[in-house]
Chain A
Amino acid sequence: MMDWFEIALVILLITTAVGVIRVKTLISAVLILACYSFLMAVVWAQLGAVDVAFVEAVVGAGLSTVLFLLTLFRARAKDTQLRRTPTPLVALLGLPLLGFVLLYAIAPLYPDGQPLRPASTHVADAYLQESYKATKTPNVVTAVLMDYRAFDTLIETGVIFTAGIACALLLRSHSE
């Protein structure tokens, strides 16, 4: 049952992505991208990543759509119509080759036996077992993000701050 749900979600996701590529105006592409973000949030919730699904639904489907639409409203209408250029032959031949290379490369990351998986071998089990004793936080993801890996979160907060400053420098005029 779970497998059918996942396959249906994946088919919907790929259909939405193809829709984003093929549609003719930019505003439609942006709105279909919001739909794609929601579907991605559902896929993540189905894979067991509830924190990630929460943040993606708020940030991806909410904030990034607003940012795209605000930029599109500044442009005149004729600039947002897309021309359908013919696809270059290199792309048609090279992209399936790239797909095969990717499949071959990610296969060792997902072997059959559970303990052999590289992502689960070193500290992940220790985090699951030790984090409640050390931090009294039932949500293991928050405990790892804010306590064990607090440096990453600190630098990421710095990156967000810098992005806000960069936008302000690029776009605000000094007349007021």
Chain B
Amino acid sequence: MIEAHDSLIVRSAGKLLIPLSQLFALYVLFFGQYGPGGGFAGGVILGTSFLLAVLVLGPQAPPCRLAHQLEHGDGVGLMIFVGVGGLCLIGGGTFLDYSNLQIPGWNDEERRSLGIVLTQIGVAADIAVTALSIVFSLGQHHSQEASHE
């Protein structure tokens, strides 16, 4: 079902838009503390930019192969989130209480701020890979069904 789009305009615009949207996704993710945004919006924009790459550039291009490799990392986001909680446990406090992260020289508020950024990265990774994975699952067997009829 997915082939490279045959219009030059779409391909050139895609080559411009895809890195821009990935940069914007990283901006939204890291500036979620100072303005609207955060992990959820950044993760979905990141996943959608990979999807755009797959639709515009075709299944043989390097971004599509990268997307297929990324699909295997489905649980990484959840592991990052639980890992941050586990680090807090190791540091001597309760689960997901970021003030126990053992970083020398920082006070409580800065540790909690760092904890928030790390968990947002985990959430964004999880949502991006899951969005990509659901779209690949839904789009997969179209050619197989068309050949049955």
- Which residues of A69-128 have CB atoms within 8 Å of chain B's CB atoms? 70-71, 73-74, 76
| B96, CB-defined interface residue at 8 Å | yes
CB closest chain-A residue, reference B44: A58
| B104, CB-defined interface residue at 8 Å | no
A55 lies within 8 A of B41 (CB): yes
- Point out the residues of chain A lying under 8 angstroms from B39, CB to CB: 146
A157 lies within 8 A of B33 (CB): no
Given A157-B126, A164-B134, A171-B141: A54 and B41 interface contact (C-beta under 8 Å): yes
Q: Which of B5-13, B59-67, B76-84 lies at the interface with chain A?
A: B76-84
B112 lies within 8 A of A161 (CB): no
| B51, CB-defined interface residue at 8 Å | yes
* Residues on B facing A (Cβ under 8 Å): 1, 28, 32-41, 44-45, 47-48, 51, 74-75, 77-78, 81-82, 85, 96, 98, 108-110, 112-113, 115-116, 119-120, 122-123, 126-127, 129-131, 133-135, 137-142, 145, 149
* Residues on A facing B (Cβ under 8 Å): 50-51, 53-55, 58-59, 62-63, 66-67, 70-71, 73-74, 76, 133-139, 141-143, 145-147, 150-151, 153-154, 157-158, 160-161, 163-165, 167-168, 170-173
